[in-house]
């Protein structure tokens, strides 16, 4: 059963029953529901029931397009038509040690594209790009739409918080899903991400869909379905969209936290980054440049200093001082290997949770984060280690937090007699 497009405005309970019973909702019904919820006409408990019905019944392709379009329609779209370079963005579904955006935006901009990045804050074990950049003295996440377009046109890249008028329905629905056990729905995840990215106004988009223990999607089949769904939504909306599935069983790079990840990003821009971080960054950069129609070698831009110069320009453009020292935590503690052998496992979720408990993350959106807290991975799977060798360095403002971090790491580190097979970090391309 599909409700007709010319029906009178429905009662929310009728739409909830229809979706609960497996019927397809019309675009007009979905448009009314999203708008009415944003305006406060539909109550939180009613939208909670609808979200739960979607968890169990899903959304068909036409319903998902209508749902995404309706969320975009509750706010404004950024107009990037005045930007002289082709615009291309990247979105990551989040992981542990994922500081790719800090490197990727200036890297791709240094190759001739314009990179508009509307980013978020961390929650739980996953870090937020804005939290990381706010450890740079003076740097501002909140800028106006006019300033955003100006910086994109002149500097070539900008990373900022999304304005309140960009898909406001998503902000309200996301908070509701977070407290009602309805986060785990591929249609709701896809529409949440893509409504903001489409409203952002970029011409092209590359999605980095993380897979593994430290990712939102731990199962490759679900990750693939999410990637395919988002690629389809973007393409149908006129945004050239592709996706890479990348591994998140092990923290990306060696630093997990806020200022420590900024420091590692700068080292990577200087050509001294960890191999796995460089591999993911370059793969995404090549994908972004291809979508933008630019023939350039991002490896060369990383090697010759152009990307680092563009990073400094980006930071300064948003009020930051790229030469200022980054905050450091006053207390540290080492985690050592109990036996000799090969480091076989360093679980991303365990390390991410440890960093969170050290103060680098937040349990609630309003919680503060520590700029200097975090974890430094001194060894990675595939490394041979000695008994007593330091594997991790924990950093915190408060030494009382080490106990909780050590509890989080229990069972997350494995040293064995056989060298492990290290899986590739870039798994698959979709699009």
Q: For residue range 286-301, what is the model confidence (pLDDT) as tens digits? A: 999 999 999 999 999 9
* Run of H or E including 21: none
Residue 212 lies in a domain: yes
CATH number of residue 197's parent domain: 3.40.1030.10
**Nearest to 381, CA basis, from 413, 349, 337, 428:** 413
Catalytic choice (177, 210, 240, 306) = 177
Residue 125 annotated as catalytic: no
Residue 210 annotated as catalytic: no
Residue 5 lies in a domain: no
Residues 98 and 220 in one domain: yes
Q: What is the mean pLDDT of residues 323-345?
A: 98
Residues 388 and 281 in one domain: no
CA distances from residue 93 to 9, 158, 192 in whole angstroms, order as listed: 35, 19, 11
Residues 126 and 193 in one domain: yes
In the chain, the number of structural domains is 3
Residue 110 lies in a domain: yes
Residue 177 annotated as catalytic: yes
Question: CA 112, 116, 119 angle in degrees (round to 5)?
Answer: 140
- Provide the 10 A C-beta neighbour count for residue 211: 26
Residue 424 lies in a domain: no
Residues 215 and 118 in one domain: yes
CATH number of residue 353's parent domain: 3.90.1170.30
Residue 170 annotated as catalytic: yes
Catalytic choice (170, 208, 249, 347) = 170
Per the CB < 8 A criterion, the answer to whether 241 and 205 are in contact is: yes
Catalytic choice (57, 90, 99, 196) = 196
Residues 278 and 152 in one domain: yes
pLDDT at 390 exceeding the cut of 50? yes
Give the torsion through C-alpha atoms of 286, 421, 274, 294, to 10 deg.
0
User: What pLDDT is recorded for position 124?
Assistant: 61
pLDDT at 24 exceeding the cut of 70? yes
Residues 193 and 281 in one domain: yes
User: What pLDDT is recorded for position 2?
Assistant: 46
Residues 361 and 398 in one domain: yes
Q: Round to whole Å and give the CA distance between 85 and 91.
A: 19
Residue 153 annotated as catalytic: no
pLDDT at 319 exceeding the cut of 70? yes
User: What pLDDT is recorded for position 20?
Assistant: 96
The band of 420, judged by pLDDT with boundaries at 50, 70 and 90, is: very high
Note the Cα 153 to chain centre separation in Å: 24
User: What pLDDT is recorded for position 290?
Assistant: 98
- Rounded to a whole number of angstroms, the CA Rg of the chain reads 22
pLDDT at 7 exceeding the cut of 70? no
Q: What is the share, in percent, of the chain residues with pLDDT greater than 90? A: 87
Catalytic choice (101, 110, 192, 370) = 192
> What angle, rounded to 10 degrees, do the helices at 259-269 and 100-110 form?
30
Residues 311 and 342 in one domain: no
**Nearest to 334, CA basis, from 228, 238, 405:** 405
Residues 278 and 341 in one domain: no
CATH number of residue 57's parent domain: 1.20.970.10
Give the torsion through C-alpha atoms of 319, 320, 322, 328, to 10 deg.
170
Write out pLDDT tens, residues 52-70: 999 999 999 999 999 999 9
Residue 78 lies in a domain: no
Write out pLDDT tens, residues 70-117: 999 999 999 999 999 999 999 999 999 999 999 999 999 999 999 999
Pairing of strands 390-396, 331-336: antiparallel
Per the CB < 8 A criterion, the answer to whether 431 and 243 are in contact is: yes
User: What pLDDT is recorded for position 6?
Assistant: 44
State the residue range of the domain holding 400.
331-416
88: helix, coil or strand? strand
Residues in the chain: 431
Residues 191 and 255 in one domain: yes
User: What pLDDT is recorded for position 123?
Assistant: 62
Catalytic choice (91, 210, 232, 362) = 91
Residue 427 lies in a domain: no
**Nearest to 375, CA basis, from 412, 423, 341, 324:** 412
Residues 290 and 406 in one domain: no
Residue 83 lies in a domain: no
Residues 158 and 200 in one domain: yes
- Of 270, 292, 317, the residue at which a domain comes to its end is 317
Residue 313 lies in a domain: yes
pTM: 0.94
């Amino acid at each position: 059963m599909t409700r007709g497009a010319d029906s009178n405005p429905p009662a929310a309970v009728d739409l909830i029953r229809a979706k609960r019973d497996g019927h397809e909702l019309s675009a007009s019904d979905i448009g009314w529901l999203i708008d009415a919820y944003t305006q406060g006409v539909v109550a939180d408990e009613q939208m909670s029931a609808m979200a739960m019905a979607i968890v169990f019944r899903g959304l068909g392709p036409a319903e998902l397009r209508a749902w995404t379009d309706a969320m975009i329609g509750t706010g404004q779209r950024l107009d990037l038509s005045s930007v002289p370079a082709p615009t291309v963005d990247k979105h990551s579904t989040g992981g542990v040690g994922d500081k790719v955006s800090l490197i990727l935006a200036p890297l791709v901009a240094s190759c001739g594209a314009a990179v508009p990045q509307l980013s978020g804050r961390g929650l739980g074990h996953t870090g937020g790009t804005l939290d990381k950049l706010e450890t740079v003295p003076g740097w501002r996440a909140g800028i106006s739409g006019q300033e955003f377009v100006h910086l994109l046109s002149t500097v070539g890249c900008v990373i900022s918080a999304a304005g309140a008028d960009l898909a406001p329905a998503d902000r309200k629905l996301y908070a509701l899903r977070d407290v009602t056990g309805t986060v785990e729905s591929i249609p709701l995840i896809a529409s949440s991400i893509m409504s903001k990215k489409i409203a952002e106004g970029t011409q092209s988009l590359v999605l980095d869909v993380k897979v593994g223990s430290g990712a939102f999607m731990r199962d490759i089949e679900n990750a693939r379905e999410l990637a395919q769904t988002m690629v389809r939504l973007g393409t149908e909306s006129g945004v050239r969209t592709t996706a890479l599935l990348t591994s998140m069983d092990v923290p990306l790079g060696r630093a997990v936290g806020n200022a420590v990840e900024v420091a590692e990003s700068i080292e990577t821009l200087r050509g001294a980054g960890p191999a796995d971080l460089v591999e993911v960054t370059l793969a995404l950069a090549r994908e972004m440049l291809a979508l933008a129609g630019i023939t350039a070698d991002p490896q060369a831009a990383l090697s010759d200093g152009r990307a680092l110069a563009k990073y400094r320009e980006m930071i300064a453009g948003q009020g930051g001082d790229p030469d200022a020292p980054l905050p450091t935590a006053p207390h540290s503690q080492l985690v050592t290997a109990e036996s000799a052998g090969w480091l076989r496992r360093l679980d991303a979720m365990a390390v991410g949770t440890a960093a969170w408990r050290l103060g680098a993350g937040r349990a609630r959106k309003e919680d503060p984060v520590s700029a200097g807290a975090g974890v430094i991975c001194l060894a990675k799977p595939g490394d041979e280690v000695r008994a007593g060798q330091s594997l991790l360095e924990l950093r915190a403002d408060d030494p009382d937090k080490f106990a909780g971090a050590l509890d989080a790491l229990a069972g997350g580190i494995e040293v064995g007699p056989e060298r492990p097979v290290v899986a590739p970090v870039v798994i698959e391309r979709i699009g």
